Amino acid sequence: MLLGNDRRVMLITSRLQQHLRTLALSVAMLGPLSCALAESAPPRWTPMGATVFKHMPAPLTNTMAQDSRGFMWMGTQSGLIRWDGYTQRLYTADSKRPRALPDNFVRAVHVDSHGNLWAGTSSGGLARYDPVSDDFTVIGTGAGGVSDAHVAALADDGAGGMWIGTANGLDHMDAAGKLSAVTATVLPPSGRGSAIRTIEALLRDRAGGLWLGTREGLLYRAPNAAAATAVGLDAPINALFQDTAGRIWIGTRNQGAFMIPAGELRAVPVVESGAHAALQKQRVVAIAEVSPTEIWFGTEGDGIVALDPGSGITRRIRHKPDVADSLSDNDTYALFRERSGLMMVASTEANSVYDPRPQAVITVRDTGLPVDGKLSVPSVLVRPDGKIWMAVGGGGIDIVDPRAGGIGRITAGEPGGLPTGRVITMANGPDGNVYAGTQQGLFRIDGQSLRVEPVQIPGRSVSAASWAVAFQGNVMWIGGLDGLWALQAGASGAAAPLLRHEDARLGDSRVTTLLALQNGGLWIGTRGGLVFLPSAEGSLEVVPTDMGSSDRLLPGFTSSLALDRQGRLWCSTFGRGVQLLERTDADGRRRFRRIETTHGLPDNSVNAVLADHQGTMWASTDMGLARIDPNTLTVKALTEADGIHIIQYWTNSAALTAEGELLFGGLTGLTVVRPDRLATIAYRAPVVVTDLAVGDQPVAPGRYLRDASGAAAAALEIKPEGKERGFSLEFAALDYSASERTQYTYRLVGFDSNWIPTAPGSRRLAYTNLPPGNYTLQLRAATRSGEWTPPISLPVHALPSWHQLTWVRVLAGLFAVGVIASLMRLRIAWYRRRQAELESVVAQRTAELRASQVMLEQLAYADPLTGLPNRRLFGDELRRMRAQAVRDKTSFTLMLIDLDHFKQVNDTLGHDAGDALLVEVARRLRLCVREADQLARLGGDEFAVLLSNTGNSHDADQVARRIVDSVAEPIAFGPHQMRVGASIGAAAFRSELANDEALYKQADLALYQAKSAGRNTWVWYRAEEHAELAGN
């Protein structure tokens, strides 16, 4: 369906109305100063930028705080949780322990000015956490206690004490810990006072004033005042927050959010922008400042409202069922900005973390236009007017304004439009039109009316797939699986004259990418390599490939081509990394430089290579993005810490905007890179000890580590009677954004000579059988920039046993000298008698050791369920057969076998039935293969067979047929008859294959086709049939 004039007018009108609402909101909320800001357009990509979260399961969280050491504390309805980025430790009420948490329902968590952590509970009063003893001091009701057991809000008083909001009014605790009820009253405009009752929220502002959120409305108590003043907001108050600009933000139960300008007592409603504004009727339960330009309001049932206080523009952050890293659900109960700048979000189903610090990368997963499933961008094009055309995976093209979002769509599958299937490539024509190469032909799209018409090429099917389009003067070059075509640019319909067609002379007629040079030359990428055409009428130069030479072009799928500022050609290849044409010798020999995973690329399957405005080269791969310095050729892979949230990208889906942004089309969205904003986050997360045990007895780490700096309060004593005479502990660097990537080292000074790195994912160490003496345990973690944090230290004192005391050792030595002299003769005689016995024992134990080694080898290489060789032995055998085939110039076949409907058996009859089925299938497979063949279980319901000496496919087909027929026979399990099938993918080894993984991938692709073909069959890998699937 085309975007006609009427629809364009309606779209523009809708956009105008939306901006007018935003402008009105800004003027009303922020006054005349914001008018100029409201008139400006939002920053580029803001309407479409995804807010990406990492989730962790947690009970329903009501409140959050971060203590002085860096731990996150979460008050839930099931207790108080301490989180270190890895493990949640739950503290719960226990009537048998007087220093336990008094109530599981935690309403408020607060860290006071002294660093103490306080928890206000629903029915148990107030509790202070003691990190030394790892328990709580409870303050209940009654004499010296709080005025009510329901404590919902806590706030500092600015003098070392604390304000306490209860169901019975306001309490105060002074710096000495003395509690008193505050007989504060409310002075409404009438001047008649009334007592303050239930308090739901407290906020002490920077001027010392106290804001009280109650069920009856909002109150303000000036510094040193005895009474509070009603602000004029009568809605029940849920949340209070002061931002860095001094503004007070209020969340209500049923009237949305309000803002009070700094120094005023006038509440202004926050009005949501957009056509479907609903904030003013919703419940706002949490408020936080992401940055000075963004305030978040957590709502109940409708996600998060993000507000730019300067412009008044808002956007909704909601859960999206088809996007795993979207908001976990739309019920938001708590928001908290962690010390390093991370945003913590508590929802019904999980607690989530959002990192707003990376500013260089934007992830687009939603353009604002309807999409069926996830957004996928197989091709992207920047138009001269700055608009972005994005091919979408389901067919068609979305037209996007980086400042406004999706503004139009060219749909597929309707009369007069694009055909169904992907748009593989797009190019701007010199006539102002867009030329779109699709899986079903080449199409011209009018740049103004968006009218679509097919481009007819003489001698070529109108529905032939077009993979590449390039313009050069008056020539339009088209590349497809049927070769290279040249048309006169600007000609239309059947009148377009054919200037040239090449296929066989390309070496590989499957053209995948084109690069037109200003000097009239043309580089042509194919699925087999690279071709150069010096001019439209010149002769083709097929660049020779050579697997054995380090400076020659490797054969393979060329996915994209680009020139750097030095005029060098960069070729991205699928499976071969990046190949740089460094120079051409006088004799015409092309010299290449390879950049692969060994140099830092995330993956050797490179989908596109692109130069930014500074000349730096960028590569998109099947495992993320990488930046390549064109001078040093050093590679820096971008990770999640840099803002990368799309891993796999489409072949040759890349573009550069006039603003310097790099666009990469991915399988799950669009990645926008702003290279000038790349920066390393320098936050150094504190390293803490989270659990400690002496021998087998747990102790509180706080007894030995006084605070976050790691300064020791006392030495850890290891007593000789302790089990195993040692200690163990767990530790963590409190970096909640990248805890799984943090590296650690440790050493025990006085025992270890070097730093000891931990295994990936391990945060535990243990020392046993320590000799008596004084030691110092040191721990450190690596930052994102690779620097090590200053180590924390824990003194350790290992006490000696009685027999290790000095005087005992002296006496023992003297006694030993006398005894040794008298026993020497007896010793020699005994030794001679025992020599023969020992020799016999040694021989026996040697035999036992050999038998044990054989058993261990069987355990290491055998599947314990079926007795078949496992994946490890299979890999060894595959390498051996490949080496033998290369040496003897023979062939063998790899078959991957996957059981059909195995999951259904497991789900209906249970895992015992599934195990019995696997054992029986293994028995049948042994009967189907030859003695010289190698059968293995790779895991789950997947098996593999290596068929030796298969010079033709007939022998392998017979084996495959026997396997399919045998597995299809029913298998009895009790009263049940289990039925499964076998899908088989087969691939024959060829000497040109680069490695074992290539053969495995071919068999896997054939297995995938066998599954797609209806299962219970076998399919051979055919290069011509699977090449497109492997490349895209």
**In 10 A of CB 451, how many CB atoms?**
15
Q: Where are the beta strands (DSSP E) in 683-838?
A: 687-694, 697-699, 716-718, 727-733, 744-749, 756-757, 764-767, 773-781, 792-798
Angstrom distance (rounded) from CA 238 to CA 252? 5
Torsion sign, CA atoms 256, 260, 265, 266: negative
Angle at 523 between CA 521 and CA 528, to 5 degrees: 150
Distance of CA 803 to the CA centre of its chain: 56
Cβ atoms of residues 509 and 521 within 8 Å = no
Burial class (CB in 10 A: 0-12, 13-18, 19+), 343: buried
Known catalytic residues? Answer: 941
Phi-psi domain of 543 (left: phi exceeds 0; alpha: psi -120 through 50; beta: other): beta
| Contacts for 304 with CB less than 8 Å, ≥ 6 apart | 51, 296, 297, 298, 316, 317, 318, 327, 332, 335, 345
Cβ atoms of residues 162 and 153 within 8 Å = no
Angle at 251 between CA 245 and CA 254, to 5 degrees: 150
Angstrom distance (rounded) from CA 665 to CA 722? 60
Pairing mode, if any, of strands 727-733 and 397-401? unpaired
- Total residues belonging to the chain: 1032
Buried b / exposed e over 394-420, threshold 16 CB at 10 Å, is bbbbbbbbbebbbbbbbbbeeeebbbe
User: Could you give the C-alpha distances from 57 to 86, 351, 690, 707, in angstroms and in order?
Assistant: 12, 6, 20, 28
**In 10 A of CB 1003, how many CB atoms?**
23
Closest among 459, 454, 499, 504 to 477, alpha carbons compared: 499
The residue behind tokens 């999640």 is 640
Distance of CA 417 to the CA centre of its chain: 37
Task: Read off the DSSP letter of residue 784.
Answer: T
Angstrom distance (rounded) from CA 225 to CA 228? 7
Cβ atoms of residues 877 and 861 within 8 Å = no
Residue 511, token pair as written in the block: 């053209």
Residue 831, token pair as written in the block: 């030794």
Buried b / exposed e over 525-548, threshold 16 CB at 10 Å, is bbbbbbbbbeebeeeeebbebeee
Amino acid present at 923? R
Angstrom distance (rounded) from CA 122 to CA 139? 13
Angstrom distance (rounded) from CA 571 to CA 610? 10
Please provide the distance, in angstroms rounded to a whole number, between the alpha carbons at the two ends of the chain.
Answer: 27
User: Could you give the C-alpha distances from 293 to 47, 286, 290, 310, 706, in angstroms and in order?
Assistant: 15, 18, 8, 7, 38
Closest among 308, 435, 457, 456 to 381, alpha carbons compared: 435
Bridge partners of residue 240, in order along the sequence? 250
Residue 807, token pair as written in the block: 């005087």
Closest among 573, 655, 576 to 610, alpha carbons compared: 655
Residue 498, token pair as written in the block: 């054919």
Closest among 21, 34, 28 to 267, alpha carbons compared: 28
Burial class (CB in 10 A: 0-12, 13-18, 19+), 470: buried
